[in-house]
Amino acid sequence: MEIAGIAPNSTVDYPGVLCAVLFTSGCNMNCFFCHNRALIGRDSALTSIDWLWDFLKKRRKSLDGVVISGGEPTMQKDLVAFIKDTKSLGYKVKLDTNGSNPHVLETLLHMNLLDYVAIDYKAPWKQYPAVCRYLDVGALLATFEILKSAKISWEARTTMLPHLTKEEYLEMAESVFILPRYVLNQYRIPVDFAESDRFKIQLKPFTKEKLATLKDAIKAVQPNTTLA
């Protein structure tokens, strides 16, 4: 398991659960607005995670959950074993995913290894190649279908890029079934970015008023929409 870092305490990454957040290295997308750009490559992994197990064992009485984020965790070959070991310590486990590996998610759900899932819904389907430099939209659609019948709580989340229009956000809302929870995040200009994306990232985030207006429009289609 390639762990690149940890946030030891969080009250916002897992709804209602005090958790630690683990960041895995490696991602098969390259979104221009990514705030974890250092994790895209596999060279960000720490050489040993013995310290992590010591940490999790010591914090069992003060933490209730572990969030596995990234990067893209479903790229990790030993993810199943890692989650089994984590749950054996009594932790609830939340997975953050970009949705690109539906077969991995399906396996984890079948084995009852997940308690919560958050999937990124980054752009209209036809714009994933431009926004995320990712082509396999079919995999993303399959992941949403798997989650549709999942017996655990889950959410989709979208970073509200000022590069997209109200019509495009409504297209996104209409392109999926009614989501159990749809979280809209404010766009923040990344500090670390590809030089080729310098022009893209400089657009100013939506104002609070504009963001609230967009949320209300999306909520008419996706009633479980909320702002982060």
Per residue in 87-128, pLDDT (tens digit) is 999 999 999 999 999 999 999 999 999 999 999 999 999 999
Residue 88 is predicted with a pLDDT of 97
- For position 48, what pLDDT does the model report? 67
- Beta-carbon contacts of 205 under 8 Å, excluding residues fewer than 6 positions away, are 160, 162, 186, 187, 188, 189, 211
Distance of CA 129 to the CA centre of its chain: 18
What share of the chain in percent tops pLDDT 90? Answer: 92
* pLDDT tens, position by position, 176-186: 999 999 999 99
CB 157 within 8 A of CB 119: yes
- Give pTM, 2 decimals: 0.96
Residue ranges for the chain with pLDDT beneath 50:
none
pLDDT at 44: 66
Position 115 scores a pLDDT of: 98
Residue bearing tokens 């082509």 = 135
Determine if residue 26 is left, alpha or beta; phi over 0 gives left, psi from -120 to 50 gives alpha, anything else beta.
left
Q: What is the CB-side half-sphere exposure of residue 70 using CA atoms within 13 A?
A: 28
Q: For 3-227, CATH number? A: 3.20.20.70
Asked if 65 and 19 count as a contact pair (C-beta separation under 8 A), the reply is yes
In whole angstroms, what is the distance from residue 118 CA to residue 153 CA? 9
Domain ranges of the chain: 3-227
Q: State how far the Cα of 55 lies from the Cα of 53, in Å rounded to an integer.
A: 5
Alpha helix (H) residue ranges in the chain: 50-58, 79-88, 102-110, 128-132, 137-148, 166-174, 198-201, 208-219
What pLDDT shows up at residue 45?
67
